[in-house]
Structure 1
Amino acid sequence: MTETPALTAAEFWEARYRDGGRLWSGRPNALLAREAGDLGPGSALDLGCGEGADAVWLASRGWRVTGVDISHTALERAALHATEAGVSDRTVWERHVLGETFPEGSFDLVNAQYLQSPVPLDQQRVLRQAAAAVAAGGTLLIVMHAGWPSWQTEPPFEAEFPTLHGVLDELALPQTDWTVETLETVRSVNVSPEGVEGFRDDHVWRLRRSDA
């Protein structure tokens, strides 16, 4: 019997968006709003932008945003969301397979929300590229799940979750050039598809690059 080849990351995410209908709420991630709400607008890069909620929120606050995703369908929905929100003139959408290709340029804010995947992703490389893309005086914001939801008794796949200091060590950012502004685990209410209420922990890293 011939073994069915595993899906590539691009095939997996395109199928998930194309075949599953709209995946997300259309609202920005709460921890982005919390951490970026006090930042003056400039240029922003939103990695793994999905259907564009974070990018549109930033654009509505005056940012010029480049949204990046692996899925054509996700990017089409993101562009439509931006048009409906009246911010299409402040958003640009690019398709990249992160870990293989990366947007050019530097940005005042690089937003990396939940770059975690059930299919292969070179997370360390992507986060290092994200840090390298932060302009002088700019901010790197990373948010990732710290574990499964409390109600998830049988995880759907094996996953290795990051630690706060483990990610800092992997980034290997010079302390003379970067200031850690947020290093925190945040617990929020999380409800299962069956309506079971529980919680989920997320890690937050907000780092600012020096002006020099």
Structure 2
Amino acid sequence: MSEQFDKEFWDDRYGSQPAIWSGKPNVNLVAEASDLAPGTALEVGSGEGADAIWLAQRGWRVTGTDISTVALQRAGDHAEQAGVTGIDWLQADLMQPWDPPHTYDLISAQYMHLPTVERTRLFRTLAAAVAPNGTLLIVGHHPSDMETLMKRPNVPDLFFTGDDIVALLDPTEWEVVTNTAAPRPAHVHDEEIVIHDAVLRARKISAKRLRAGAR
């Protein structure tokens, strides 16, 4: 299974078609980040760049990271075509131990489906890289999708819930804003079904606020 997570796999997948994704920002990013004040953002698994571009258009200074250099080149082209600046593109293999180059006011990881060990390590790394008062937003296909007609890998280890992510966060350092299985419609073989996304949005409590709460 490991080959489906390596650079060669994703370069081949992106290189096989002119576009893999819709070119629109993920709906849960729009829903959860529209009310945030712009700052610095890390877009994890940035793909063809739609989420990073959407954030940059709203004043964020964005770092978009992906394992695939083909995807990053395409994302850069899309940003240039849209006249968007303020995005740095960074190649990184997130299956391996990795340290983000900075802390960020927003870290967004959309549909990062890795085996449990690697996913746990990555999500803890991302949480540590959120700046005080910053936001961690993680979205993934909910495990309940495996019980629908939707085509999903028959590998339960790749799926997670919001509660799984909350369990990785120190409750004295984080305020959970959203923890839900968000429904959305999908079509499979001309049949309309409902699938769900695990959505976890949490805010890192600042040291100043922690001190105030301790009084």
TM normalised by structure 2 equals 0.87
Q: Per the alignment, in what secondary structure is the counterpart of residue 200 of structure 2?
A: strand
Q: What RMSD, in angstroms, separates the aligned Cα atoms of the two structures?
A: 2.0
> Is residue 180 of structure 1 aligned with residue 173 of structure 2?
no
| Counterpart-to-counterpart distance in 2, 1:120 and 1:13 | 20
User: In structure 2, which of residues 53, 56, 61 is the aligned counterpart of residue 59 of structure 1?
Assistant: 56
User: In structure 1, which of residues 110, 113, 128 is the aligned counterpart of residue 110 of structure 2?
Assistant: 113
Q: Per the alignment, in what secondary structure is the counterpart of residue 185 of structure 1?
A: strand
Which position in structure 2 is the counterpart of 1:98?
94
Q: Per the alignment, in what secondary structure is the counterpart of residue 86 of structure 1?
A: coil
| Counterpart-to-counterpart distance in 1, 2:140 and 2:131 | 22
User: In structure 1, which of residues 193, 198, 202 is the aligned counterpart of residue 197 of structure 2?
Assistant: 202
Greater helix share, structure number: 2
Which position in structure 2 is the counterpart of 1:123?
119
Q: 1:137 to 1:120 in 2, by over 3 A?
A: closer
| Counterpart-to-counterpart distance in 2, 1:155 and 1:68 | 24
| Counterpart-to-counterpart distance in 2, 1:45 and 1:198 | 32
| Counterpart-to-counterpart distance in 2, 1:41 and 1:144 | 23
Which structure 2 residue ranges, 5 or more long, are not aligned? 208-215
Q: 1:83 to 1:155 in 2, by over 3 A?
A: closer
1:7 CA drift (Å): 5.9
| Counterpart-to-counterpart distance in 1, 2:46 and 2:117 | 15
| Counterpart-to-counterpart distance in 2, 1:104 and 1:197 | 43
Which position in structure 1 is the counterpart of 2:165?
167
Question: C-alpha offsets along residues 18-59 of structure 1, whole Å, 9 cap, x if unaligned?
Answer: 113310111100000000000000000000000000000000
Residue 106 of structure 1 aligns with an amino acid whose one-letter code is T
Any conservation in 2 of the 1:51–1:75 contact (CA below 8 Å)? yes
Residue 66 of structure 1 aligns with an amino acid whose one-letter code is T
Which position in structure 1 is the counterpart of 2:75?
78
Residue 32 of structure 2 aligns with an amino acid whose one-letter code is E
| Counterpart-to-counterpart distance in 2, 1:179 and 1:128 | 16
Residue 162 of structure 1 aligns with an amino acid whose one-letter code is F
Q: Percent identity?
A: 42
| Counterpart-to-counterpart distance in 1, 2:187 and 2:117 | 27
Aligned residues: 202
Q: 1:135 to 1:7 in 2, by over 3 A?
A: closer
Q: 1:122 to 1:61 in 2, by over 3 A?
A: same
